[in-house]
Structure 1
Amino acid sequence: MSTKTPTEADILRPIQNTSKKYFILFGICALALGSFLVAWAYQLQQGLVVTGLSDWGSGGGATWGLYIGAFIWWVGIAHGGIILSAAVRLLGMDRYMPVARLAELLTIAGLSAAGFYILVHMGRPDRMVTSVLGHYHITVNNSPLVWDVTVITAYFVLTATYLSLTIRYDVSRLRDQLPDRFDPIYDGLTLGYSEKEDEIIERMVWWLALAIIIMAPLLLHGGVIPWLFAVLPGMPAWFGGVQGPQFLTIALTSAISGVILVAAGFRRAYDWEHIMTDDVFRGLLLWLGFFCLLFLWLQLQQNVVGLFKAPLDVGAAQEATLHQPIYLLSMGLVFSTLAYIFAQAIRPALFTRLRAMIAGVAVLFATLMEKILFVVEGFMHPTFELYRATPGEYFPSAIEWLSLLGTIGMVTLIFLSVSKVVPVVELHAIEHLRGDHGHEHEHEHEPVNESTKKPEVEA
């Protein structure tokens, strides 16, 4: 275990140093996003028929598929990320302070990907203006789409405010070590800043964290999105009393898995073994195991109720899901991850960072497949099948798979870009790891001399 003392220079390293690997990864992600944009342009020209999502009714199939499944997946990752960060601040979980901002950035990136999926699935993006914003006062009362847009926008604004308040503190103290080329951004972030506001901002962030924790079961992945599915009575596969808590556990398992992967990537790239220690990853794995257990338990509740003397339509839908190899694979991956986490908790020698990353990938893949299957099965087994000559079929088209790669690329690009502008690890986290809490280094509180030449840094 590293005994190095974290310094400001450590968290500034991503801003001041850029390697060939950075440009290679940036190029790969840009290519993935660009490929999907080209495919989307083709979809805009030809219509949603090129995806097969328009095929329903007598021909079977599903009007929602990977697009909506991935939308739910990204929303879950985003929602769980901000809950994780809020819990760190609200409950004083200082152990996880080094990854708190990564969780916040994951929320911003995940919500961006989810919002993008809304535009893609609408077929015509101009409908966002003509059908949603232009008639919001009418559609907000009865449109699931408008509710999605509303809660995503609300969480995005809340998270962006939450994030900018903490970044304001860091930029004001590290300003003389930051590159000149981003001065307009830093000027905007620190507009009107005074050290007298630090205590007020700390209280504001605490209250924002409390609001996020309170709103979690009621909005987005804990409430609005599962409710929007459950209130469609003709689709028994989407109805269930445990659906809200189930969605919330999926969100938290996905978010923790995402934070593990992002933190591991930054640790490897910038030698942050003394910041994002093995102890942090062990703790994240334990939380991942806890929410995996809840996830499996709620799945068991749904299966027991849906298969034992349930109404015919509910029983048929649940039985069809249970016999799907994709569903069994998803549950098997989550159970295997839980078994590994339990084993390494008993025998710590089983822990490695690589195994933690594998566990994160397994859970992310499992939750994605489960969400896509959840959406599709809801269409395959409706209560009324009067218009179905044969059972429907669905398999994601190449454009849909490209959308998944494109949004993963987009989220990665957001991290790569933000890491070149502001620290992705809070200064408070470094101060806590050093044990000085920001009071032992006078230069951190001295006013910045604007006439002093800033050191040149490598682009």
Structure 2
Amino acid sequence: MSTKTPSKADILRPIQETSSTYYILVAVAGLAFAVFLIGWFYQLYEGMVVTGLSDWGTGGGVTWGVYIGAFIWWVGIAHGGIILSAAVRLLGMDRYMPVARLAEMLTLAGLSAAGFYVIVHMGRPDRMVTSVIGHYHITVNNSPLVWDVTVITAYFVLTATYLSLTLRYDIIRLRDQLPDHFGPIYSMLTIGYSEEEDVIVQRMVWWLALAIIIMAPLLLHGGVIPWLFAVLPTYPRWFGGVQGPQFLTIALTSAISGVIILSAAFRRAYDWDHIITDDIFRGLLLWLGFFCLLFLWLQLQQVTTGSFSPPVDLGIAWIATLEHPAYIFSMTLVAVVLAFIFATTIRPALFTKTRAIICALAVLTATLFEKVLFVIEGFFHPSFEIYAATPGIYVPSLIEIASITGTIGMVSLFFLTVAKIVPVVELHAIEHLRAEHDDSSTHEDQTH
């Protein structure tokens, strides 16, 4: 355990210090995003024909594929991130305070990537204005996809407000050590600040956290997003009440995995072993195991009802899913991660930070594969297979595959940029850690 005392200088290090590794990471992330943008511009020029998507039916394919599967994946990561941060504040989980802001930022980044996917999948960006915004009063009543856009926008604004309220406290107290060239940003974030507002802001943040926890099963990844699929009875692979809880568990496993990876990256880059401790990784890994267990349990419910004397259409859909290598691969990854986490509870020596990162990467890969396959198989096997003579075929194009690495690059650029402007660890977290450290030192001195 590190005996180093956490300080303001620690959380200012990402802003004040820039290494050659930072520029390399910016270049790699920028290249990944640029490759996807080039592919997208080519798609805009040639049309959606350059993707692996095709008309359902006589085209023998699917109208939704990687784009929508990855959209769900990013929304899940984003929604799970804000739920994690809200739980830290609402339930007093001080142990995770050093990573709470990373979870909030992950929400903003994930929602940005998800929203970008909606624009890409529409074929033409102008349709967002002419078809969605321009006729919103009509589309919101008839298009589940517009519900998604509405929820994404609402939660982006909610999270941005949530984050900006906590940033005010930090920026005021660290302003003399922050770069002057970002002065306009700091002035905007702290406009009208007074010390009297600190108590009020803390109360506001608590109520926002409560609202997020309450709304999670209703409007986040337990509500609107799964309703896009779950209310369609002609698609047996999608239809059913289990989709809400299933989507929510996938969101939480994905978000915890994302926070583990981000925490490890910042800890390694800025020597934050004494801030983002091994104890935090152990706790996050245990929570990951809990939600992996729920994830597999809900999958078992669907497999059981889909394979034990099911209706014909449901049986066909689930046989196709169970035989698909992507499904076997994703479920195996989650099961192996769960087995490892369970083993660490019996033998704690098995735990290492590196293994926690591997588990996180495995779960993120599994949830991405599962979501893409979920979307595709639903289209391939509707209740009335009037086009059964034409076998369903879907192979993602390079542009669609590049969208995954491209949005990961986009999210990486977000963190690389934001880390140069504002602290990614709250000053409250540092103050809490210092108090704990001082109490521990005092107790040791008294013991001696």
Length-normalised TM-score, structure 1 = 0.94
Question: CA deviation digits over 1:217-262, x for unaligned, max 9?
Answer: 0013111111111122221111122110000000000000000000
For residues 15-64 of structure 1, give each alpha carbon's deviation from its aligned partner in whole angstroms, at most 9, with x where no partner exists: 00000000000000001111111100000011111102124312311110
Structure-2 residue corresponding to 1:18: 18
Structure 1 segment 335-346 matched on structure 2, within 5 A: 335-346=335-346
Tell me if the contact between 2:231 and 2:240 (Cα under 8 Å) persists in the aligned partners: no
Asked whether the 8 Å contact 2:145–2:228 carries over to 1, the reply is no
Deviates more, 1:429-438 or 1:222-231: 429-438
Asked whether the 8 Å contact 2:77–2:107 carries over to 1, the reply is: yes
Alignment of 1:160-175 (within 5 A): 160-175=160-175
Determine the C-alpha separation between the residues in 2 that align with 1:197 and 1:241.
44
Distance (whole Å) between structure 2 residues aligned to residue 311 and residue 437 of structure 1: 61
CA contact (8 A) 2:278 2:353 kept: yes
What is the rounded CA distance, in whole Å, between the counterparts of 2:380 and 2:332 in structure 1? Answer: 23
Counterpart-to-counterpart distance in 2, 1:161 and 1:436:
29
Aligned to 1:247: 247
Q: The residue matched to 1:141 in structure 2 has which SS?
A: helix
Q: Report the AA paired with residue 323 of structure 1.
A: E
Deviation at 1:389, TM superposition (A): 2.1
Q: Does 1:353 align with 2:346?
A: no
- Output the amino acid matched with 1:350: L
Asked if the contact 2:33–2:406 (Cα under 8 Å) also holds between the matched residues in 1, the reply is yes
Name the structure 2 match of 1:82: 82
CA distance in 1, matches of 2:341, 2:436: 34
2:149 is aligned to 149
1:436 Cα deviation from its structure 2 partner: 7.4
How far residue 202 of structure 1 moved from its aligned partner, in angstroms, is: 0.2
Q: Distance in 2 between matches of 1:2 and 1:397?
A: 48
* Equivalent residue, structure 2, for 1:273: 273
Instruction: Give the whole-Å Cα distance in 2 for the aligned partners of 1:147 and 1:125.
Output: 18
Q: 1:391 is matched by which residue type in structure 2?
A: P
Match of 1:329 in 2: 329
Alignment of 1:220-369 (within 5 A): 220-369=220-369
One-letter amino acid of the counterpart of residue 312, structure 2: L
Alignment partner, residue 116 of structure 2: 116
Q: Is the 8 A contact 2:54 2:63 kept in 1?
A: yes
What does residue 42 of structure 2 align with?
Answer: 42
Rounded Cα–Cα distance in structure 1 between residues aligned with 2:338 and 2:406: 30
Question: In 2, are the aligned partners of 1:240 and 1:302 still within 8 Å (CA)?
Answer: no
Q: Which residue of 1 aligns with 2:411?
A: 411
Distance in 1 (CA, whole Å) between partners of 2:436 and 2:231 is 53
Mapped to 1, the partners of 2:437 and 2:184 lie a distance apart of 29
CA contact (8 A) 2:77 2:110 kept: yes
Report how many residues are paired. Answer: 438
> Could you tell me how far apart the structure 2 residues matched to 1:39 and 1:306 are?
38
Rounded Cα–Cα distance in structure 2 between residues aligned with 1:131 and 1:220: 24
Offset of residue 113 of structure 1 = 0.1
Q: Which runs of 5+ in 1 are unaligned?
A: 439-459
Q: In the aligned structure 2, how far is the partner of 1:57 from the partner of 1:301?
A: 30
Mapped partners of 2:219, 2:429: distance in 1: 29
Q: Which amino acid aligns with 1:305?
A: T
Aligned to 2:203: 203
| Structure 1 contact 316–381 (Cα < 8 Å) conserved | yes
3-state DSSP of counterpart to 1:217:
helix
Aligned to 1:448: none
Give 1:434 shift. Answer: 0.6
- Contact residue 78 and residue 108 of structure 2 kept, 8 A: yes
Secondary structure of the 1:236 match is coil
1:128 aligns with 2:123: no
2:444 counterpart of 1:425: no
Aligned CA RMSD, in angstroms, stands at 1.1
Amino acid across the alignment from 1:332: T
2:56 counterpart of 1:52: no
- Give the aligned partner of residue 435 of structure 2: 435
Runs (4 or more) in structure 1 with deviation over 3 Å come to none
Taking the aligned partners of 2:352 and 2:47, their CA distance within structure 1 comes to 47
Structure 1 residues 436 and 176: alpha-carbon distance in aligned structure 2, compared to 1, 3 A threshold: farther
Map of 2:444 onto structure 1: none
TM-score, with normalisation over the residues of structure 2?
A: 0.96
**Which secondary structure does the structure 1 equivalent of 2:422 belong to?**
coil
Match of 1:8 in 2: 8
1:437: how far off? 11
Cα distance in structure 1, aligned partners of 2:159 and 2:77: 14
Query: Are the aligned partners of 1:428 and 1:437 in contact in 2 as well (CA < 8 Å)?
Result: no
* 8 A Cα contact 2:5 2:437, kept in partner: no
- Give the C-alpha shift of residue 407 in structure 1: 0.2
Tell me the residue number matched to 1:450.
Answer: none
- 8 Å CA contact retained: 2:321, 2:327: yes
Q: Is the Cα contact below 8 Å between 2:333 and 2:366 reproduced in 1?
A: yes
Equivalent residues of 1:58, 1:388 under 8 A apart: no
Q: Distance in 2 between matches of 1:44 and 1:144?
A: 24
Q: What do residues 97-143 of structure 1 show as CA deviations (whole Å, max 9, x unaligned)?
A: 00000000000000000000000000011000001001111110110
| Matched-pair contact (CA < 8 Å) for 1:59–1:389 | no
1:279 Cα offset (Å): 0.2
